[in-house]
Chains A and B, each alone.
Chain A
């Protein structure tokens, strides 16, 4: 038996990256910012979008691509606050990939938008692995989940351009050390700003929105 070793150097994320780059090209051409919200199920990603719809009052015109395994509930919640939303159903997959996002994006009226928000499938692990063509991944963590999560799931916090700590109106009721949590985040990613806010009361939302304004 004769055998040969064939040296290859082939990027295994190449196909996904191709779609992601195509999406970024389209967004750049249309001057549209795209962010990718990643956090656990129940971390408050949809509630944050509902709050942003109220606070922004069209100062940043945005649409939402909602990733979920099943149901159109989140897209319905977003549509109820007069924001255009498309539901992307993965049918079991734990994350969104670039091709699906690209096709959904092409159906949006990009000429009339300043920003597209991708709300990824609720999951702290898998979505962090995949570039969907966004300009920034944003990690969303609620204080109800525990201040140790950045250390336990470092990749997401490493990849994030900003971190949002949500539900701070619950701080009286949960054991969550904000300073400790921010120190953990800074250890993993020194350059990402951390926004603490409550989508329910609106506290802290302005700082987050100002950051988005600066990105446009």
Chain B
């Protein structure tokens, strides 16, 4: 259910970015967000929230693309680095629990695909 409040922040962020673009874009085709694997975001709920929150706005009809980000692990004991499964809390190489996780809780707006106004050629 927290998807709705996070989605409001997505919509606000997209609209802020769009408003700051020069020249002004004609419309938003799609927006991509990146979500760390430990974030408990249900893509279906997020899509529904996006449809509802954009209804009647200047970005109605645009698509939301949700990209999952794999956790990057670094072992502070043996120096191993690599992709980490979210339920793995021990180093796959030396079994130490001194693992540093990167990207697990990331949540950011990554890319906007926009349609431009066609400018008449000079």
Give the B-binding residues of A (Cβ under 8 A): 1-16, 93-95, 97, 125-126, 128-130, 151, 154-155, 158, 186-190
CB of B9 within 8 A of chain A? yes
Q: Residues of B contacting A94 with CB < 8 Å?
A: 1-2
Chain A contacts of B112 at CB under 8 A?
5-6, 8
Q: Can you name the residue of chain B whose Cβ is closest to the Cβ of A125?
A: B40
Determine how close the nearest CB of chain A comes to the CB of B116; give it in whole angstroms.
5
The reply on B52 being an interface residue by CB < 8 A is: no
Structural contact, A189 and B89, CB atoms closer than 8 A = yes
Q: Which residues of A contact B38 (CB under 8 A)?
A: 154-155, 158
B5 at the interface (CB under 8 A from A): yes
Report how far A8 CA is from B110 CA in the complex, Å: 5
Known contacts A6-B112, A10-B108, A13-B9, A187 near B89 by CB under 8 Å: yes
Q: Is the CB of B111 within 8 A of A8?
A: yes
User: Could you write out 11 A-B pairs with CB less than 8 Å apart?
Assistant: A2-B116, A3-B114, A6-B112, A11-B107, A12-B108, A12-B109, A126-B1, A154-B87, A158-B38, A158-B104, A190-B97
B93 to chain A, nearest CB (A): 16
Interface residues of B in 1-42 (CB under 8 A from A): 1-2, 5-6, 9-10, 12-13, 17, 21, 25, 29, 33, 38-40
Contact among A8, A14, A15, A95 for B2, CB-based, below 8 A: A95
In the complex, how many angstroms separate the beta carbon of A69 from the nearest chain B beta carbon? Answer: 11
Closest chain A residue to B33 by CB distance? A12
Cβ–Cβ < 8 Å partners of B114 in chain A = 3-6
A102 to chain B, nearest CB (A): 16
Q: Are A126 and B2 in contact (CB under 8 A)?
A: yes
9 pairs of A and B residues whose beta carbons are closest in the complex:
A190-B97, A126-B2, A10-B109, A6-B112, A94-B1, A2-B116, A12-B107, A12-B9, A8-B109
Can you name the residue of chain A whose Cβ is closest to the Cβ of B31?
A8
In the bound assembly, the distance between CA atoms of A158 and B17 in angstroms comes to 33
User: Which residues of B sit under 8 angstroms from A158, Cβ to Cβ?
Assistant: 38, 104
Residues from chain B with Cβ under 8 Å of A154 in the complex: 38, 86-87
Min CB–CB distance A19 → chain B (angstroms): 12
**A93-B5, A97-B5, A154-B86 known; A12 vs B13 contact (CB < 8 Å):** yes
